[in-house]
């Protein structure tokens, strides 16, 4: 029975690879016999510089490392290894406990344990077995996290596809706004690049532009398609769409960073907008960018109650509302694009129609 258990243990151990580093060949040979008998894959190295290269180019689960060596000591070996490998489990061997490196060095280099050299390897085997158990647990945790992450990504993708369907439904309710969200996304990114924003901010601007009007799914068709002036009650219903949008999107973390855009893209720089009457820099920065993009596309697109407005008039409106409806610096950045790189603006204006 014991032989059977030992065979299983050896089989499990064989999946773990150990490297031993000691400039005394006798120690390496003894460890080789001892650890191979226990079932581990084993590599023995007497040159610490070679050991660094082996770890750099091969996978090892655990390292048994002598402290006092030439041409460099064990702590220097670990120092180099930690520059490219943070996961290797390392046990340090010392000729005498007084020769061990300081405790703060052991902590700083994330050395998991050390023991004194001995003719018997009982203590070292216990440390190795303990180390292998820790490595197995960490591998199991990584695998579980990977599986959870994979499942979560699939759920998020499914949710994203569902929200995309809702967005298309919104645009299908009003043919005059078809392509509006895509253009707002593109204009927002165009402004963001002009302002030198990060890739993460540009991604959020694009996603925020795509879904900024998703809340209009909760607005009656009769209001969205009305070709005359809205009543106060109808306008109040329109003003609910940012809050409806946030409610729809808040169930998935993939949309977490764009919620401020969805909620506040109708705020005005002077504090007279909705839904929260925020003013100036209290309005989230990306929402201020989306506001300019949204307004520009609204003015340059055909609507049920009017044709698209001439670009000269739109420029005048942006200038007139600079500092009241819009953040002055963002308007200035966009107007600079319109005046000096109008081809990029025209390209977006002609999209999705």
Question: pLDDT grade, residue 295 (50/70/90)?
Answer: very high
| Per-residue pLDDT at 177 | 66
Residue 196 in this model has a pLDDT that exceeds 70:
yes
Are 109 and 76 in contact by the 8 Å Cβ rule? The answer is no
| Per-residue pLDDT at 11 | 57
Q: Is 117 a catalytic residue?
A: no
Residues whose CB falls within 8 Å of the CB of residue 113, separated by 6 or more in sequence, listed in order? 91, 92, 127, 130, 131
Q: Edge-to-edge strand order for the sheet containing 113-116?
A: 41-45, 17-21, 62-66, 89-94, 113-116
Going from the C-alpha of 174 to that of each of 75, 85, 309, the distances in angstroms are 69, 56, 19
Q: What is the mean pLDDT of residues 270-287?
A: 96
Residue 165 in this model has a pLDDT that exceeds 50:
yes
Residue 352 carries which DSSP code?
T
Residue 273 in this model has a pLDDT that exceeds 70:
yes
Are 101 and 69 in contact by the 8 Å Cβ rule? The answer is no
Q: What is the mean pLDDT of residues 10-37?
A: 86
Tell which residue, 203, 188, 288, has the closest CA to residue 254. 203
Question: pLDDT grade, residue 174 (50/70/90)?
Answer: low
The more confident residue out of 321 and 4 is 321
Question: pLDDT grade, residue 36 (50/70/90)?
Answer: confident
| Per-residue pLDDT at 224 | 75
Question: According to the per-residue pLDDT averaged within each range, which of 14-18, 95-99, 183-187 is highest?
Answer: 183-187
DSSP H helices, the chain, are 2-13, 25-37, 48-57, 74-81, 103-108, 122-173, 180-194, 199-211, 221-224, 232-238, 241-249, 259-264, 285-300, 311-320, 328-340, 342-349
Question: pLDDT grade, residue 148 (50/70/90)?
Answer: low
Q: What is the mean pLDDT of residues 189-215?
A: 94
**Sequence spans of domains, the chain:** 2-131, 160-349
CATH code, 160-349? 1.10.3210.10
Question: pLDDT grade, residue 10 (50/70/90)?
Answer: low
Lowest mean pLDDT among 197-201, 308-312, 332-336: 308-312
Rounded distance, CA 78 to CA 100, Å?
14
For the chain, the C-alpha Rg in angstroms (whole number) is 32
Going from the C-alpha of 104 to that of each of 89, 101, 202, 220, 269, the distances in angstroms are 17, 8, 43, 67, 54
pLDDT tens digits, one per residue of 39-69: 899 999 999 999 999 999 999 999 999 988 8
CATH code, 2-131? 3.40.50.2300
On average, the pLDDT of the chain sits at: 86
Residues whose CB falls within 8 Å of the CB of residue 339, separated by 6 or more in sequence, listed in order? 315
Question: Torsion angle, CA of 54/59/63/66, rounded to 10 degrees?
Answer: 0
Rounded distance, CA 293 to CA 159, Å?
26
| Per-residue pLDDT at 277 | 94
Rounded distance, CA 213 to CA 133, Å?
53
Choose, from 216, 239, 268, 351, the residue flagged as catalytic. 216
The more confident residue out of 227 and 10 is 227
């Amino acid at each position: 029975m014991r032989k059977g258990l030992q065979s299983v243990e050896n089989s499990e151990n064989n999946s773990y690879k150990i490297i031993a580093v000691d400039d005394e060949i006798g120690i390496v040979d003894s460890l080789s016999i001892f650890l191979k008998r226990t079932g581990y894959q084993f590599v023995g190295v007497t040159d610490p510089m070679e050991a660094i290269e082996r770890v750099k180019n091969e996978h090892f689960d655990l390292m048994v490392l002598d402290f006092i060596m030439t041409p460099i000591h064990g702590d220097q070996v670990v120092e180099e290894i930690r520059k490219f490998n943070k996961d290797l489990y390392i046990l340090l061997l010392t000729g005498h406990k007084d020769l061990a490196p300081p405790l703060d060095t052991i902590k700083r280099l994330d050395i998991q344990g050390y023991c004194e050299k001995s003719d018997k390897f009982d203590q070292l085997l216990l440390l190795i077995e303990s180390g292998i158990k820790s490595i197995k647990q960490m591998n199991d945790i990584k695998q579980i996290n990977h599986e959870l992450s994979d499942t979560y990504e699939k759920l998020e993708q499914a949710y994203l596809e569902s929200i995309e369907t809702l967005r298309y439904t919104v645009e299908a309710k009003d043919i005059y706004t078809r392509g509006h969200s895509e253009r707002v996304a593109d204009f927002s990114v165009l402004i963001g690049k002009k302002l030198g924003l990060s890739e993460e901010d540009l991604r959020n601007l694009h996603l925020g532009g795509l879904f900024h009007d998703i809340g209009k799914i909760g607005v009656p068709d009769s209001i969205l398609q009305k070709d005359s002036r809205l009543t106060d009650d109808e306008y109040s219903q329109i003003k609910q769409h940012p809050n409806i949008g946030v409610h729809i999107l808040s169930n998935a973390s993939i949309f977490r960073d764009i919620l401020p855009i969805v909620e506040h893209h109708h705020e005005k720089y002077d504090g007279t907008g909705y839904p929260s009457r925020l003013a100036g820099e209290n309005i989230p920065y990306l929402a201020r960018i989306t506001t300019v993009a949204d307004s520009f596309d609204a003015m340059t697109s055909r609507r049920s109650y009017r044709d698209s407005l001439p670009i000269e008039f739109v420029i005048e409106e942006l200038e007139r509302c600079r500092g009241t409806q819009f953040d002055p610096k963002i308007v200035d950045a966009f107007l600079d694009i319109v005046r000096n790189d109008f081809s990029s603006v025209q390209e977006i204006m002609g999209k999705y129609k």
